[in-house]
Chains A and B, each alone.
Chain A
Amino acid sequence: MRFVALVGIWVFCAGLAGCSAVPIGMGEPEEASSKDQGAELGEPESPLPQSRQRQSSPAVDALLGQARALRAEGQHELAAVKLERALRIEPRGAELWLELARVRYDMGDFAAAAQFADRARRLAGNDDDLARVAEQLALAARTQGL
C-alpha cells in the first residue's frame, strides 16, 4: 500500500513538475507571477548547493610540486605561473592560494599576499592548520605593508 502511495505521489509530483515548464515566448512579463507558483508546488525546493571539499588531482599536485620547488630556488615568477595554472584547474584549492600568497610575499608584494592568504583561509574548510597558517601570513603581510 505504501508502495502504491509512493508511486502515486511520484506521478503526481512529476506531473506538476511538467506543468512548471514555461515556454519561452515573446513579450513575456518580466516577473514571475506568484500566483502561478502556488499551482506548481508539490515539489519542495532543493537545499542550497553547498561547496564540498574537492579531491586532489594529479595535475594540480604536479603543478603545486613544481611551484614549491621553484619557490625554493627563488624563481618566484615561474612559481607563480605554475600556481596560476593550477588555480585554473582547481580554483577552490586552499593550498594553492596559500602557496601563491607565500610566493607574492617573497616577492615583496604584500598587498597581494594578504588578499591571497585571506582567500586561502576562507577556503580552508575543515583544515584548521591551513586556516591558521593563512591567517598568520595575512597578518604578517599586512604588517609588512604598513
Chain B
Amino acid sequence: MAKKPRRGPAKRRRKVSQSVSIKASKSKKTKQKSGKRKASSRTRPGARRRLRQLAAGFLLGIVMAAGLGVWHLDRTITRAFEGRRWDVPAHVFAQPLEIYEGRALSAPDLERALVQLGYRKRSRATEPGTYARSRNAIELTTRPFRFWDGEAGAQGAFVRFSNGYVSRLTDGAQRQPLAILRLDPLLVGSLFPGVVEDRLVTPPEAVPPLLVTALLAIEDRRFEEHHGLDFKVIARAAWVNLKSGELRQGGSTLTQQLVKSYFLSNERTIRRKLTEAVMALLLERRYDKASLLNAYINEIFLGQDGPRAIHGFAMGSRYHFGRPLGELEAHQLALLVAMVKGPSYYDPRRHPQRARQRRDQVIDAMQASGALSAHQAQQQKRQDFGLAEKPVRGASYYPAFMTLVRQQLVRDFARADLAGEGLQIFTTLDPEIQRRAESALAGRIASLEQGVGEGLQGAMIVTSTDGAEVLAAVGGRDPAFDGFNRVLDAQRPIGSLIKPFVYLAALESGRYHLASPVEDASVTVALPDAQQWSPKNYDDQFLGTMPLVRALAESRNLPAVRVGMATGVERVTDVLQKFGLARELTPYPSVLLGAVAMSPFEVAQVYNSFATSGAFTPLKAVRFITDARGEPVSRYPLELKQVADAAQVTQVNAGLLMAMRRGTGRSVRQRLTSGMEVAGKTGTTDELRDSWFAGFSAEHLAVVWIGRDDNQPAGLSGAAGALAAWGDLFAQLPSRSLTLDLDGGLRATWINYQSGLESEPGCGDTVPVPLPLDAELAPEPGCEPGNERGLGERALDWFRNKIG
C-alpha cells in the first residue's frame, strides 16, 4: 500500500494561525515598545510585558499541547493501520494447474478451474484473465504471475481436448506448440500467524467494481474528493438530528468508519467522535484513497458468527451467501453494502423486510450512479436474497487443509519469521480434488444414514503417491465447518488396516513370501498378565490352510495373529514407525488386529510408503514460501528414504491388489474406469464402530474414515462405509492405474488361490502373484504348469483366455 506524504490541511491551518498570532503579538510588542519610548516607562510596561509573555506562552503551550495530541493520535492511527498491515496475513495459494499434452483433463474441468480463478468468459480471449469456450477447445490468456521458478507473463493459449485428455496445446497467436502452461494459483485463504482466525483478504484487483460503486454511492459519495471528513454530510446530519431532537443520521465517511472499526468502542460521545475525526484526517494524510478503500473492504464488520466476527466483504460474501465475492450478483452486493450500516439491524435472516428495503435503496443508488440501467435495477430488486442455506460457518474455505498448512509451518518456522508482511504460501492443495472429495464424503454419509441412522461423521484425505503431497483434506461431512478437524484429530483404532504391516514384517523376517501357506485356524495367545486371548474371524469360521495373499485379501484375522506372533509384534510396530508413525507403540498382541489408534492423516502417511514401493516421504502441505514481492523465502524440497525392500513391499501390494480384485474391496472395482487397477485395505473395528479404507492407484492415495463422534457403533464395515466413499471419489477421478514393479528379484507366478500351489493359469481358481526368484512351490495336482491336458480342456482354456 502506498504512503503519500502530504501536509494535511489541519496542521497547516494550525501552523498558519500560529505564525499569524506570533506576528500579531510581535507587532503589538514593537508598537508598544515604540510607544513606550515616548513616555517615561519604569513601572507599567514591565507588568504588561509579563502579561503578554504569559499570554504568548500560554498560547504556545496550548498549541504545543494540541500538536502533541495530534501527534499522538497520528501515531495511534498509523500504528493501527500499519499494525493491521504488520499483521498482514500470509496469502495461501492452492497448487497451480499445469496444462500439457497428454494430461488427463476435460474441457468442463478446465473451465471450472478458470471460473474459480475469476477468469471471465468472452468471445475472444485476448486479455489476461479471460477465456473462450467451444465444445472441445478452450482459448485463454493467463494472468501474469511470479512463481518460485520464474516470472510468467500473460500467455495466450489454445487447448484442445479429446476423450478427457489434453490432445493439443498451442500458443494463442502463432499456433506454435506449447510445452507446458501454468495457470496462476488460486488464493484459498489467509493466515494471521499469531491469531487463530483466518481471513479472506481481498486484493484490490479482486474487488468487484460494482461493489465499490455501491459502497461509495450509499456510504460516502464524495470519498474521492474529501480529505477524511465530509463537511456537507456532517452539516446535513447535524441539521437532521437537531430538527428531530435525536441522533438520526450519521455523517461518517468511509475513512471515519475505518477508524471506528480499528477501535472497538461503543461510546458515541462528542470526544470520541472528535478523536475519530482527527484520526480520519491523519489517515488520509498518510495513505492514498486506494489503500484506505482496500483496508475498508477487508475490515468492515459484516456480521457475527457466534464468537467469531465476520470482517471484510470477502468473508461476508462467504458467510452470508456461501460464494466468493467475485461471483455475487448485483443485488447480493447491494445487500452486503446495505448491511454495512448495521449487520444486526439489517440481518436478512432476522429482519428480512428491513434488509430488503435498504438493499433496494442501494440498488437505486447503483442505478443513479449509472452502474445499472433502470431495467437492470428493476430486475435486481425482484430477486430474492439468495442466501446460503445456513450461514457458512468458519472463515476459511478449507479449514482442515489450512490446519495442515499451519502445522507444517509452525513445525519449521518461528512465529516471528512468519509475521512478515504479506508472505505468499504455495501449497499442495488441488481445489478440484478437494471439491470431489468433499462431495464424495458428504454424499455417501448422507446416503449411509438412510440405513444406519443419523449422527455419522467422517474424514477423507487424498495425497499424491510419489511426492506425498496432500491434495485434499476433508475434516467432516460439513467441510466448511471450522471445528473439529477429523483428518488430524480423530484418533481411532485402525482394525484390519494393520494387516499389510503384519505381513510385510513377516516377509522381512525372510520366512514368508506372498504364496506361503498360513493357517486360518484357532489360536490362543498367552498375555503378560496370565490372561489368554482367543481372537476370532468375523464369520466365526476356520478356513484352514491358505496362501498368505488370500489371508490378506480376505482380511482373515487368525492368520494375521498367527503370523504376527511368529514374527514378533515389535517387528510389526517397527514397520509402522519406519513408515512414518511418530508415536511410540507398545507391542501388545492386540496390535496385530489393529488395537492402535491413529488419525486419517497418520494412516495416509504410513500407507504412502506402500504406494511408493517402500520409500518414506513425509506428507507435505506446503511447497514454497515467498515474500510479498515473490522473492523466495523457503521451500520444502522433495525427500525420500527407502526404508523397506521394494520387492517385499511389491508382494504386499499385490495382496492389496487382490483385495480389490476379489477380496474385501471388490465391491468398488466395477465402478472404476474399465481396466483401472487399484490396491487397498478395508478396516473394521469392534462392534462396527469404525469404518476405514485406505487405497491407492499409481498416482493417488486416499484414506477414509466413517464413524460416530461419540464412538457408538456406526454399524458399518469398512467395505460398506469408507470403501464406498472412496469409490465415489475414484470412480470420477482421473488417475493412473496401479502397476507393479517386477524387476529386481520378482517373478510373476500363477498359484491356486485356495491352496497356494503353483498352477497353470486358468486351471481352476488361479491368481497371479509376484514371488521372489528363489521361491519354490509345489505344483497344484491336476494343474501342473506346462501339464499335458486334454485337447478339449486346453481349447476351453484358450477361449476363456481370449475373452478374459
A interface residues with partner B (beta carbon < 8 Å): 5-6, 9-10, 13, 20-34, 37-38, 41-52, 57-59, 61-63, 77-78, 80-82, 84-85, 87-89, 91, 100, 112, 115-116, 118-119, 122, 125
Residue B467 lies at the interface, judged by CB distance under 8 Å to chain A: yes
Once A31-B555, A48-B768, A48-B770 are accepted as A-B contacts, the answer to whether A10 and B803 lie under 8 Å apart by CB is: yes
Contacts of A31 in B (CB 8 A): 537-539, 554-556, 663-664
Contact status B149-A82, CB under 8 Å: yes
Bound CA–CA A52/B724 (angstroms): 30
Contacts of A26 in B (CB 8 A): 448, 451-452, 715-716, 720
Contact status A29-B149, CB under 8 Å: no
**Most B C-beta atoms less than 10 A away, residue of A5, A44, A100:** A44
Contact status B635-A29, CB under 8 Å: no
Give the Cβ gap from B701 to chain A, nearest Cβ, in Å: 13
**Segment at the interface with A among B196-204, B294-302, B326-334, B738-746:** B738-746
Interface residues of B in 631-669 (CB under 8 A from A): 632, 635, 637-642, 646, 654, 657, 661-664, 666-667
Residue B482 lies at the interface, judged by CB distance under 8 Å to chain A: no
Once A9-B799, A29-B538, A31-B539 are accepted as A-B contacts, the answer to whether A59 and B179 lie under 8 Å apart by CB is: yes
Encode contact with A along B95-106: 1 for CB under 8 Å, 0 otherwise.
Answer: 000101111000
Contacts of B539 in A (CB 8 A): 29-31, 33
Interface residues of B in 211-234 (CB under 8 A from A): none
Give the Cβ gap from A41 to chain B, nearest Cβ, in Å: 6
Residue B78 lies at the interface, judged by CB distance under 8 Å to chain A: no
Contact status A78-B149, CB under 8 Å: yes
Question: Within the complex, which residue of B670, B715, B724 is in contact with A27, where a contact is CB–CB below 8 Å?
Answer: B715
**Segment at the interface with A among B82-90, B270-278, B759-767:** B759-767
Encode contact with A along B613-636: 1 for CB under 8 Å, 0 otherwise.
Answer: 101000000000000000010010
Bound CA–CA A89/B179 (angstroms): 12
Bound CA–CA A44/B751 (angstroms): 12
Contacts of B537 in A (CB 8 A): 31
Question: Could you list 24 examples of A-B contacts with CB < 8 Å?
Answer: A30-B718, A31-B556, A31-B663, A31-B664, A32-B553, A32-B663, A33-B539, A37-B753, A37-B765, A44-B762, A45-B661, A45-B767, A47-B768, A48-B740, A48-B742, A50-B748, A58-B100, A59-B180, A63-B179, A85-B149, A88-B464, A88-B467, A112-B637, A119-B615
Contact status B740-A22, CB under 8 Å: no
Give the Cβ gap from B801 to chain A, nearest Cβ, in Å: 6
Bound CA–CA A44/B718 (angstroms): 27
Contacts of A20 in B (CB 8 A): 666
Interface residues of B in 751-803 (CB under 8 A from A): 753-754, 761-762, 765-770, 796-797, 799-801, 803
Closest B residue to A46 by CB, please name it: B804
Contacts of B796 in A (CB 8 A): 9
Contacts of B98 in A (CB 8 A): 59, 85, 88-89
Give the Cβ gap from A13 to chain B, nearest Cβ, in Å: 6
Bound CA–CA A24/B666 (angstroms): 10
Contact status A119-B640, CB under 8 Å: yes
Contact status B684-A30, CB under 8 Å: yes
What 4 A-B pairs come out closest when comparing CB atoms? Answer: A59-B100, A62-B179, A91-B466, A51-B739
Question: Within the complex, which residue of A5, A6, A52, A115 is in contact with B641, where a contact is CB–CB below 8 Å?
Answer: A115
Once A26-B452, A63-B180 are accepted as A-B contacts, the answer to whether A81 and B148 lie under 8 Å apart by CB is: yes
Residue B543 lies at the interface, judged by CB distance under 8 Å to chain A: yes
Contact status A6-B715, CB under 8 Å: no
Question: Within the complex, which residue of A43, A45, A89, A125 is in contact with B100, where a contact is CB–CB below 8 Å?
Answer: A89
Give the Cβ gap from A25 to chain B, nearest Cβ, in Å: 6
Closest A residue to B727 by CB, please name it: A24
Give the Cβ gap from A29 to chain B, nearest Cβ, in Å: 5
Contact status A115-B642, CB under 8 Å: yes
Give the Cβ gap from A74 to chain B, nearest Cβ, in Å: 15
Bound CA–CA A48/B679 (angstroms): 12
Question: Within the complex, which residue of A5, A30, A58, A87 is in contact with B467, where a contact is CB–CB below 8 Å?
Answer: A87
Contact status A44-B642, CB under 8 Å: no
Contacts of A89 in B (CB 8 A): 98, 100, 103
Closest A residue to B688 by CB, please name it: A27
Question: Within the complex, which residue of A10, A34, A82 is in contact with B754, where a contact is CB–CB below 8 Å?
Answer: A34
Residue B167 lies at the interface, judged by CB distance under 8 Å to chain A: no
Residue B608 lies at the interface, judged by CB distance under 8 Å to chain A: no
Contacts of A115 in B (CB 8 A): 615, 640-642
Q: A24-B719, A84-B638, A91-B465 are in contact. List 11 more A-B contacts (CB 8 A).
A: A9-B796, A22-B666, A27-B715, A32-B663, A33-B539, A45-B662, A49-B738, A57-B101, A59-B102, A82-B149, A89-B98
Once A24-B719, A29-B717, A51-B739 are accepted as A-B contacts, the answer to whether A45 and B179 lie under 8 Å apart by CB is: no
Residue B682 lies at the interface, judged by CB distance under 8 Å to chain A: yes
Contacts of B553 in A (CB 8 A): 32
Closest B residue to A38 by CB, please name it: B765
Question: Within the complex, which residue of A22, A46, A59, A119 is in contact with B667, where a contact is CB–CB below 8 Å?
Answer: A22
Contacts of B768 in A (CB 8 A): 45-48
Contacts of A5 in B (CB 8 A): 799
Contacts of A30 in B (CB 8 A): 496, 538-539, 555, 664, 682, 684, 717-719
Contact status B766-A44, CB under 8 Å: yes
Question: Within the complex, which residue of B635, B637, B677 is in contact with A49, where a contact is CB–CB below 8 Å?
Answer: B677
Contact status A57-B100, CB under 8 Å: yes
Contact status B720-A32, CB under 8 Å: no
Contacts of B761 in A (CB 8 A): 44-45, 47
Contact status A50-B742, CB under 8 Å: yes
Contact status B179-A122, CB under 8 Å: no
Contacts of A58 in B (CB 8 A): 100-101, 177, 179-180
Residue B344 lies at the interface, judged by CB distance under 8 Å to chain A: no
Bound CA–CA A57/B553 (angstroms): 36
Contact status B737-A27, CB under 8 Å: no
Contacts of A85 in B (CB 8 A): 98, 149
Bound CA–CA A24/B688 (angstroms): 16
Bound CA–CA A80/B102 (angstroms): 23
